[in-house]
C-alpha cells in the first residue's frame, strides 16, 4: 500500500499572519498556506501522559507528505476540527513523510 493511500483526509494548514489595520495597529488572522492530504490519529493514553509530563499537550498525530509546509505554531483544519501544531518530525529522515504532533483545540 502506498503512502498516498494511507493519507485519507484532506486538511488545510493555516498560519497566523499580521496585516495593518489602517489605524497604526495590526490585525492577526489565520491564513491557509496549503491544502494537502493527511492521516489523523489520536495518540495512545500512554503517549498522552508522557507528553503531559513534559508540559507538551498532544492529543493527535497527523501524518502528511514530506513536502508539506507545516511548522510549530501553525493550525491544521479538518472540517470543523482544529489542531494546534506542537512539533514536526521527519521520522524517516528522507523527507518521505512528516509526523506532526498536535493538540486538538476546537470543534
Report the alpha-carbon distance of residue 8 to residue 74 in Å, rounded: 21
pLDDT per residue as tens digits for the range 58-80: 999 999 999 999 999 999 999 99
Mean pLDDT comparison of 42-46, 51-55, 77-81, highest-scoring range: 77-81
Q: What is the CA radius of gyration of the chain?
A: 15
> How confident is the model at residue 51, as a pLDDT?
78
- Count CA atoms closer than 13 A to 75's CA, side-chain side: 18
Whole-model pTM: value is 0.85
Q: Residue 36 — pLDDT band, cuts 50, 70, 90? A: very high
pLDDT at residue 101 greater than cutoff 90: yes
Q: How far is CA 53 from CA 46, 57, 81, in A?
A: 11, 9, 25
C-alpha cell at 51: 507528553
* 3-state DSSP helix/strand/coil % of the chain, to nearest 5: 10, 55, 35
d(CA 6, CA 76): 18
Enumerate domains of the chain plus CATH numbers. Answer: 3-106 (2.40.10.270)
Could you give the count of Cα atoms lying within 13 Å of 20 in the half-sphere of its Cβ? 3
Amino acid at each position: 500500500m502506498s503512502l498516498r493511500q494511507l493519507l485519507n483526509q484532506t486538511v488545510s494548514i493555516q498560519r497566523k499572519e499580521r496585516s495593518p489595520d489602517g489605524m497604526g495597529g495590526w490585525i492577526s488572522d489565520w491564513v491557509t498556506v496549503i491544502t494537502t492530504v493527511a492521516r489523523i490519529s489520536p495518540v495512545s493514553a500512554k503517549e498522552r501522559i508522557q507528553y503531559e509530563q513534559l508540559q507538551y499537550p498532544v492529543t493527535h498525530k497527523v501524518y502528511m507528505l514530506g513536502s508539506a509546509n507545516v511548522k510549530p505554531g501553525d493550525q491544521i483544519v479538518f472540517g470543523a476540527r482544529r489542531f494546534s501544531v506542537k512539533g514536526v518530525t521527519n521520522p524517516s529522515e528522507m523527507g518521505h513523510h512528516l509526523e506532526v504532533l498536535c493538540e486538538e483545540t476546537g470543534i
